[in-house]
Structure 1
């Protein structure tokens, strides 16, 4: 059974193209158009899930959860950088 999960895609213009980033997994791609950058990011995510070790996936998702908690706390990030 395939599991579905939604991820964030941040797409920004950079020079003559677009850069796309999935911050939850720290995976990026690019393209000449917004649509191409989005599609390339989806492909990069699919390849990551097909080839990554389950522990790598879990560690990246755990880091995102921790970063989310830090952001929501309202405390300065610098408090957590030395931990």
Structure 2
């Protein structure tokens, strides 16, 4: 039997008006989407980020992708370089743990 786990990521968001479209982007993962309104652009970006992150998890490449994008683990209370919180987008990921007591999840 498995357990359902929810993991939430808060990622920076940038919105820019380009002619008749609004472009929403997450610069730290180099992913962008667009919409006719800010809300639509945010929803489209959230969907693109969710699909991208789920794909990385499915392929076992999330750690590698995050490292290539310049991510590293820091203490929870670490200060940001900018000192001010940028606008952000919340991406929930739902995982199913298929934990088996007879199997170790760590290799080594």
TM-score (norm 2): 0.54
Instruction: Tell me the residue number matched to 2:71.
Output: 65
Q: CA deviation at 1:49?
A: 1.6
Runs of 4+ in 1 over 6 A off after TM superposition: none
Work out which of the two has the higher radius of gyration on C-alpha atoms and give 1 or 2. Answer: 2
Q: How many residues align?
A: 66
TM-score (norm 1): 0.68
Instruction: Tell me the residue number matched to 1:18.
Output: 22
Q: Is the Cα contact below 8 Å between 1:12 and 1:18 reproduced in 2?
A: yes
Which structure carries more relative contact order (alpha carbon 8 Å, separation 6+)?
A: 2
Decide which structure has greater helix share: 1
Unaligned runs of 5+ in 2: 73-80, 82-108
Unaligned runs of 5+ in 1: 67-71, 73-83
